[in-house]
Amino acid sequence: MMDPDFHRFARSRDHQRCAHRLIPGGAHTYAKGDDQMPEWMPVVVDRGEGAHVWDLDGNRFVEYGQGLRAVTLGHAEPRVNRAAADWIARGANFTRPARVELEAAEAFLDLVGADCVKFTKDGSSATTAAVKVARAATGRDTVAICEDHPFLSQDDWFIGTTEMDAGVPQSVKDLTVGFPYGDLDALVEVLDTHRPACVVMEAVRDESDPGDYVRAAIAACRERGVVFVLDEMITGFRWSARGAQGLFRLDPDLSTFGKALANGFSVSALAGRRDLMEAGGLNTEKDRLFLLSATHGAETHALAAAIEAMRIARDEDVAGQLLRQGARLRAAVHDVTAAAGLGDWVGTAGRDCNLVFFTKDPEGEPSQPFRTLFLQELARRGVLAPSFVITTAHTDDVVDQTAEAVAGALEVYARALDAGSVDGFLLGRPVQPVFRKKAGTVWTSVSRPGGDGAVSEAPAVRTTPHA
């Protein structure tokens, strides 16, 4: 018996087959790749609005984690779009700076509070620029990163520390050292042993208040002439309109923002102390530092979108809304998992504005196959949820609908737990972590007909190019 939902994703599946021939990985961003979603439900988005997206087959989904957390106001927010469209009508890119460049800088610095800011297009470039500023300022080469923070940049100084380090010279890898989060003594030891140019880390990833620890870390850096770089890519405009630094009274030397800064438009920022940042300017006696300078760095409509998104973040307490709706979602998911008796196997984690979920196997171990089954059963029920990261467009109704979908997904999950495995329930291979050594492809779950995700034949499609 063919799975009843197989044909609901036919166009997306055809599209992905072509995409893999033309685009390595089938997507321009790894976290959107087919290895991140259930194989037989390779949703390709046609459009989005608010909390929802529609795929090529016309299926509508509630979407979480929108744009890898870049969207806080929901898709195609009309006021942000209008601000961008006004500048699209005036021109996107000129020979000289457009006035929107200063307007965006003023809006950002008013809100976040640093001396100077330089905008670019992606977070990785911003954190890499921070590293360069620190190296130029200190004359040192080593970078100390928090090893518990999963992603700080796509550039070599960071990617060389991951499993996906092919192409990064050993000499570059040797210049990055790690320290564990939350352990001040361990950080101090790294500072004293390696004398790095900078420390790069996020303030916090869960619901705790990291103020004391991060302030002590900043002080330890200052005592040793180490530049402290706070990565606010996720916390910025989500934890608070002024980022973690505003919320927890932190005073980093440099900080980097991106993601939600422009509600999905491409804008990121390096902000910080004037004496450090001016090395990249024209009012300096020092050797010139090529700070950030890109052809598209000041694309007008993206900066206009950022100005409007920042205005909304400040005037409408977006961070407060995200916290409230996230708390509502967390409680709703808790209720349905408790009612199903599955609270030990499926549940939420993280700060309410930035919820993720865990999925465990019958032995209580975190499980990618069971995660995939959960994703699959949510997608069947109209919820696309690699996380439960919320936007202000996730209304009460949307949250209630999500809770219903979770309840339905848990019925299948419970049967798979009882059966001892996802076999017969999961269509195709499990999802896999982005940072792994080999692409590989693990085929499972097509062996046993019957069950809820019943399939009796091997998939006719194979989207991943590796045998």
Ligand X SMILES: Cc1ncc(COP(=O)(O)O)c(C=O)c1O
Residues that bind ligand X (CB under 6 A): 68, 122-124, 127, 151-154, 202, 231, 233-234, 258, 268
Measured between alpha carbons, how far is 410 from 184 in angstroms, rounded to an integer? 41
CB of 215 to ligand X, least distance (A): 20
8 Å CB contact between 419 and 432:
no
CB of 415 to ligand X, least distance (A): 35
Helix extents (H) in 35-155: 66-69, 78-90, 99-112, 123-138
Length of the chain: 467
Measured CA to CA, the distance from residue 119 to residue 299 in angstroms comes to: 10
Closest CA to 319 of 49, 63, 78, 111: 111
Closest CB to ligand X among 245 and 421?
A: 245
Give the nearest distance from C-beta 127 to ligand X in angstroms: 6
For the bound state, the minimum distance from the C-beta of residue 81 to ligand X, rounded and expressed in Å, comes to 21
Strand-pairing partners, residue 63, are 384
Cβ 283 to ligand X, closest distance in Å?
29
144 SS3 class: strand
Contacts of 7 (CB under 8 A, 6+ apart): none
Nearer to ligand X, 111 or 270 (CB): 270
| φ, ψ (nearest 5 deg) of residue 238 | -120, -50
Other Cβ atoms closer than 10 A to 217: 28
| Shorter beta-carbon distance to ligand X: residue 208 or 456 | 208
Cα distance between residue 70 and residue 50, in whole Å: 13
Q: Which is nearer to ligand X, 151 or 265 (CB)?
A: 151
Query: How far is 1 from 204, CA to CA, in rounded Å?
Result: 48
Minimum distance between the CB of residue 232 and ligand X, rounded to whole angstroms? Answer: 8
Q: Which is nearer to ligand X, 235 or 463 (CB)?
A: 235
Q: What minimum distance in Å lies between the beta carbon of 231 and ligand X?
A: 5
User: Looking at beta carbons only, is 29 or 193 nearer to ligand X?
Assistant: 29
b vs e for 341-360, b when ≥16 Cβ sit within 10 Å of the residue's Cβ?
Answer: ebeebbbbebbbbbbbbbbb
Residues in Cβ contact with 328 at an 8 Å cutoff, skipping those fewer than 6 apart: 396, 399
Nearer to ligand X among residue 80 and residue 200 (C-beta): 200
> Residue 43 or residue 233: which is nearer to ligand X going by CB?
233
Instruction: Pick between residue 235 and residue 421 the one whose CB is nearest to ligand X.
Output: 235
* Beta strands in 71-219, from DSSP E residues, in sequence order: 116-120, 143-146, 176-179, 198-201
Supply the minimum distance, in Å, between the C-beta of residue 159 and ligand X.
Answer: 11
Residue pair 344/364 in contact (Cβ under 8 Å)? The answer is: yes
> Looking at beta carbons only, is 179 or 345 nearer to ligand X?
179
Helix (H, G, I), strand (E, B) or coil at 424: coil
At residue 366, φ and ψ (nearest 5 deg) are: -55, 135
Strand partners, 388: 355
* Residue 4 beta carbon to ligand X: minimum distance, rounded to whole angstroms: 36
Supply the minimum distance, in Å, between the C-beta of residue 367 and ligand X: 24
For residue 288, the minimal CB distance to ligand X (Å) is: 25
Structure tokens at 49: 């609005």
Identity (one letter) of the amino acid at 33? G
Residue nearest to ligand X (CB): 123
98 versus 234: smaller Cβ distance to ligand X: 234
Query: Could you tell me the sign of the dihedral formed by the alpha carbons of 70, 76, 82, 86, in that order?
Result: positive
